Every structure is written in C-alpha cells, then in structure tokens.
Chain A
Amino acid sequence: MNQYVLLKTDLNRWVEMARKKYRVYAPERVQEDIFFAPLLGPPESEFLTGLAVLPYLPPKDLVFPQSEILFSYSREGEKIALTVPDQETEASVLLGIRSCDTVGISWMDKFFRENFNDTYYGRRRDNLITVTIACNRPIKNCFCVCCEGGPFLDPGKNSFDLQLIDMNDRYLVECNSDQGETLINLDPALFSAPPPDMEAMRNRLEEEARSMFLPEPTSYMGTAIRRITADSVPSEVWTELGERCFDDGGCTFVCPCCSCFGVGYLAHGSGGCHYRFWDSCDYSGFTREVSGHNPRGEKGERFKRRFFHKLSYQYVKKDGRIGCVGCGRCITACPGEVGMPTVVETIRRSDTGDSSKE
C-alpha cells in the first residue's frame, strides 16, 4: 500500500483530469435524495467529507444493472444468429463511495466471479476504479462496525483501489491497487508524501469514528448469526417478522449484497432477446413452480430464507463474510420497519437461553 497527501483545493483539478479519461460517478443530490450519477462538472464537495453520505441506492447497478440483455437472437430463414451485447464498457471511476458499499462490491466480486464466472459482471467490474471516502462520522442508520463494513477500510484486509481519509484541509490517500496508482498518475504532482505523524492521526480518526457507534457493537450480530446457523429461531418469530413484511422487495433492491435475478424473454418479429433483471426473494413468485406448488409460499419462510442467506455461518463459509455490510439502507426502505437491525434485535430478544438445539 502507498500513501499520499492530496490537498482539498486540488481535488477538483484531479477530478477534472479523471473526467477526461473516465466516466466519473459521484454522489449527487436529486431533489430530496442522493444518487450516484455521472459527473458533468465538479463534484458536490459536501458529499466528499468524513461525514457519512449514503446515496439511496448502492452503486451495485454499475456492475450489476437493474436489467441487462444476456443475448439477442435473430432468424433469417433457417439461420439463427445469437448476439451478445458489446463487451466493451466505458472505463469508470466511482468517487465518494463509502467503505460499506466498497465491501459490498467485494462481496459481489467473489459471488459473481468465482465458481462459474459471470462475464457480464466481470467486464463492468474490470472497468471500474473505486475511490472510497472513509467515514469519520456515521449517520443515523449506520451499523457498519457490526458487519466489518467500515467505517474505514483496512488496507491489509479489504480489497480496494483508493481510500481518501478526510483530515480537514487535506486527504490522506491510501492506494491499494495498480488501478489506484493509475489514478494517482493522472497528475502525480498533486500528490505528496505524507508526514511521519499522519499514520497516527489516521488511526486516531478511525478509533474516534468507531467509538461513535453503540458500545461493544461488534458482538451485536453474534447471537443472530449463531441462532440462524443452528436453525434455532422459533418459527413463530419468523412468522411475526414476516407479517410485518410488505413483500415489496425494497430491502433486496437497496442491499449492496443482494444479487438475485430473474430472466425475461422478449420476442418481436423474427428476433428477440433474453434479459435479466433484479429479482427478490421477498416475492412469493420467486419460488413458485409451474404446478402451483410453492416451497416458500409463506412470508415467514421467505423471511427466514433471506436472513439465513445473509447471516448463517453456512453462507459465511461460502461467501467469506456475512451478506450485510451495515449500510442501513434496508431500514430506510422498509415500510414495515423490519430492516436488518430490527431482525437481529428480535432474534436476540427471542433467545430464551434454551440452547438444546444449538
């Protein structure tokens, strides 16, 4: 890992250089919400500080779009031609992503690229460079510390390109990949070597940030993980939680670690296409079979499924971590107020201490 210092007054110049070569995405206010959007001018500086900013949607659609064509077909007489959409995508930079979303992309990297490589994901991912901003101060719904999702990325543990750490009038820049160096090299004169005391200051900022969460937050998920793994959460608890679910799929669409998709088919004239789109395990149709039989026809069963996937040790073993990065978007999106923290808390409270099943 290399470290540099970038003065905030030089940020726009660096971004301007990047915009000449890349499509640069950054958080942008759209009426009352914030979204990642392609920059047409300088970035909105208020979203590039140590204060956490959470765009309504994670940037997962840059690597896993809401819908995309898998292939098109066309018939000409006896002949059928299959065409895969252009494999070239524009080289992009994602500026102002937070550590939680960066960890979410790492989760997707492993899921989509290992054990049957998804080249649609891969071609977008290979063209994306991330510039994360560490969070010196969390906001209301943040719980990344409980999920190893932040508030700072750990260069020894997390995979990322660049991480900016807000130090008032400057950023400490941590570069963790060759792609990150490419961005530094856009204008190396803007980046200077950090003074010796900067590492200590960085670590102090991270400690302060962590202390702003609940006391002993890292053990918070433990009970839920243990009980879901052992399948010892009473079915009434799942039913109760399921009753509060509106089947809207919102939590899954805003989740940086939700990757399920459906496939649709279009025919028009002599051609058509097969395309995929975000799907949700919240929906009863997700598992409904052609006979009408539905193995997860009950809301409680779907609820159990979703959280088994997110939190069970069986999946931690498979995916390398839990399927939650603590961004808190499901709290905002859920009209029934059954986002991740509520579920974890409900499971903790339902623990009567009977561990006979575990």
Chain B
Amino acid sequence: MTNIYLPHLARIITIQDDTYDTKTFGLELVDAEARNTFRFRPGQFLEIAVLGVGEAPFGLASNPNHPEAFFVTIRAVGSVTDALHKLSPGDIVGVRGPFGNGFPFDEIKGKNVLFVAGGIGLPPLRSLIEPMLDARSEFGDVQILYGARSPADLVYKNRLKEWETMQDVRFMMTVDVGDSGWSGNVGVVTTIFPKADIIVDNTVAFVCGPPIMIRFAIMELLRLGFAPANIISTLERYMKCGVGKCGHCAIGHKYVCLDGPVFSYREMMKLPERVV
C-alpha cells in the first residue's frame, strides 16, 4: 500500500543560478520504476525534503511533456530553502508528489491566454506556458506580461529572450526599479497593462506572484472586464503533508494542497477568509 508520507529519493542533476537568491534544480528520481512512471500536470507541486532538515512545497516549473527532466525554481528564504541552496549536483533529496489540482489545459483550448507573472511567480506558470507553446496552434492569442523588482530579479533570462523574439507570443516585461543597463519598462507589472493591448474577449488570465501583486493584477483585470471565473491564480499556505491531513493549509473547507493550489478568482471570493 502506498505510504503517503514516505518520499522517493531524488538526485540533483543540475543547479542553475537564476538570480542572487534563486536557483533552479533539475532532479531525477533514483528509483527506476518511479522515474519511468513519474508524470505531472501544469501547476502541480512537489514536497521536497532535505532529510533531517525539513520539507516544503514547491511548484513544478518545467514542461510536463518532459517529465523525465523536471525542475523546480527555489528562492532561499528559510531553513529548508537555505539548505537546498547549499546542495550540489549529485546530492540526494526526498520528493513526494506531484500533488494539487494544477492549471486547466485541455479545458481552455481554443481560448486566448494571458499570463501575468511577478518575480518568482513565473516558475509555476512556466509549467503551463511551455506545453502551450508545444501545442501553440490549439490556443488563440498568447500573451505573457512579466514583472520583477529589478533586472537582477528576473528568472530564466535566456528563455525570456526567446519568448521576446517568438512571432506567436506577445511578450512584455518590466522591473519596479531599473539599473544602468536597463532600457526597458519601469514600474510594477500592472503599469504595462495600458500599452499591452490586452484582449479580454474569450481570454483566460493566469496570475502568479507575490500576494500584493496578485491582488493588484486581479483588480486591474476585473476593471478591464475579465469575469472572475476567467482569472486563475494560485494560493500559497504554510503546508506540511500535501495530502489534506495535517490541516495547516485549510481555508474554509478547501485545502490548498488538495483543492488548489490553483483557484479561479470566482472560487477565491467564495472562501470565508480574504485570500487576495
């Protein structure tokens, strides 16, 4: 019988420095059978453990079409993430999951898609952007708006350059504060909304980032005429088990780990606590 609390061992294959405090870890499950059967959906998350130190949830950032080479992008902010940042390729971590509901994919084929990402909110959205680009003809207009605190805080810089040059993706980015080498947009992500020619009709918007950014982005999207059901975001909560048992991530009768982390704004409004 499956033990829901027992992790698989996973080896760190690659570590890429994204920013001064953020790294992307490419992982591989040690057990061959687990490795071969590992699949995930965009927007799902893993519980990653540094054995003896702690375990925390991280959104999968890679393309689900390539489950054999999955990665997570992690900012060093606490004891578990600090310990992860000290690891090297070849080191072993514990991995449970994937957990959570994930983003809609097949359900929104034929629609336009707008991504609004803030800082470290881009990685979970990337797990949806990449498979959409794989199946580009099955979606309408695809627009990505990305904002970060400073040029040094932008993640996936090489991939951003590719998105910028793609003919069938409308990509714009901005930073809150520029530097001497920055000639692009300056201002929080909502400040580029007016010049972004956002299509509202038949569009689903995905919003991911720090809570304050999510709040303002959603307000702005509502003002533009998006229906609450067509604004989709993710919620984060302190979490232990990932499988609806420990109780920490409950909001009302919803569990972020089971019923989320993906919620539409319509669903968020129904929760008995203010979440955005």
Q: Quick check: B237 and A118 within 8 Å, CB to CB?
A: no
Q: Mark A253-270, 1 if CB is under 8 A from B, else 0.
A: 000000111110111000
What residues of chain B lie closer than 8 Å to A295, measured between beta carbons?
237, 251, 273, 275
- Segment at the interface with A among B59-67, B183-191, B239-247: B239-247
Quick one: CB contact mask for A224-235 with B, threshold 8 Å, 1 for yes?
Answer: 000000010000
Are the C-beta atoms of B245 and A263 separated by less than 8 Å? Answer: no
A317 — nearest CB in chain B belongs to which residue?
A: B253
- List A contacts of B78 (CB < 8 A): 290
CB interface residues, A 71-110, toward B, < 8 Å: 71, 73, 80, 82, 84
CA gap between A290 and B244 in the complex, in Å: 20
Q: Which of B5, B240, B272 contacts A262 (CB 8 A)?
A: B240
Those of B231-276 within 8 Å (CB) of chain A: 236-238, 240-241, 243-248, 250-253, 258, 272-273, 275
Residue A246 CB within 8 A of the other chain:
no
B5 close to A314 (CB less than 8 A):
no
Provide the B1-34 mask, 1 if CB < 8 A to any CB of A, else 0. Answer: 1111111010000000000000000000000000
Interface residues of A in 302-358 (CB under 8 A from B): 304-305, 308-309, 312, 314-315, 317-318
**B236–A289 contact, CB under 8 A?**
yes
Q: Using an 8 Å CB-CB cutoff, how does the interface string of B48-88 with A read, 1 for contact, 0 for none?
A: 01011111000000000000000000000110010000000
Which of chain B's residues have a CB closer than 8 A to the CB of A261?
240-241, 245-247
- A154 interface hit (Cβ, 8 Å): no
Which one, A120, A259, A274, A293, contacts B247 given CB within 8 A? Answer: A259
**Residue B140 lies at the interface, judged by CB distance under 8 Å to chain A:** no
Contact A267 B272 (CB under 8 A): no
Q: Which of A2-10, A162-170, A280-288 contacts B (4 or more CB under 8 A)?
A: A280-288
Q: Is A291 an interface residue (CB 8 A)?
A: yes
B55–A265 contact, CB under 8 A? yes
Chain A's nearest CB lies how many Å from the CB of B252? 7
A290 to B77, Cβ gap below 8 A? yes
Residues of A within 8 A of B131 (CB): none
In contact, B5 and A115 (Cβ under 8 angstroms): no
| Given A73-B51, A308-B272, also A82-B243 (CB < 8 A) | no
> Pick the contact of B53 from A117, A267, A276 — CB < 8 Å?
A267
Q: Separation in Å of the B136 CB from the closest CB of chain A? A: 36
The reply on A70 being an interface residue by CB < 8 A is: yes
Residue of B nearest to A318 (CB): B253
B259 → A minimal CB distance (Å): 11
Question: Interface size bucket, A side?
Answer: 35 or more
Q: Which of B2, B52, B272 has the most CB of A within 10 A?
A: B52
Known: A276-B246, A290-B238; 5 extra A-B contacts, CB below 8 A, are A260-B247, A263-B55, A286-B248, A290-B78, A295-B275
Q: List 30 A-B contacts (CB under 8 A).
A: A71-B7, A73-B52, A84-B6, A111-B245, A116-B243, A116-B245, A117-B2, A119-B2, A120-B5, A261-B240, A262-B240, A262-B246, A262-B248, A263-B55, A263-B240, A263-B246, A265-B54, A267-B52, A273-B52, A276-B240, A276-B246, A279-B246, A286-B238, A287-B248, A291-B77, A295-B275, A296-B273, A301-B273, A305-B273, A312-B253
The answer to whether B3 and A84 touch across the interface, beta carbons within 8 angstroms, is yes
B228 close to A (CB within 8 Å)? no
Identify B272's interface contact among A231, A259, A271, A272, CB under 8 A: A231
Complex Cα distance, B29 from A310, in Å, reads 40
Choose among A116, A117, A231, A281 the residue with the greatest number of B CB atoms under 10 Å from its CB: A116
Contact A260 B253 (CB under 8 A): no
Cβ distance A110 to chain B, nearest Cβ, rounded Å? 12
Contact residues, B189-203 vs A (CB, 8 A): none
Are B245's CB and A117's CB within 8 A? no
A266 touching B238 in the complex, CB below 8 Å, given contacts A80-B92, A117-B2, A287-B248:
no
Asked whether A112 is an interface residue with its Cβ less than 8 Å from the other chain, the reply is yes
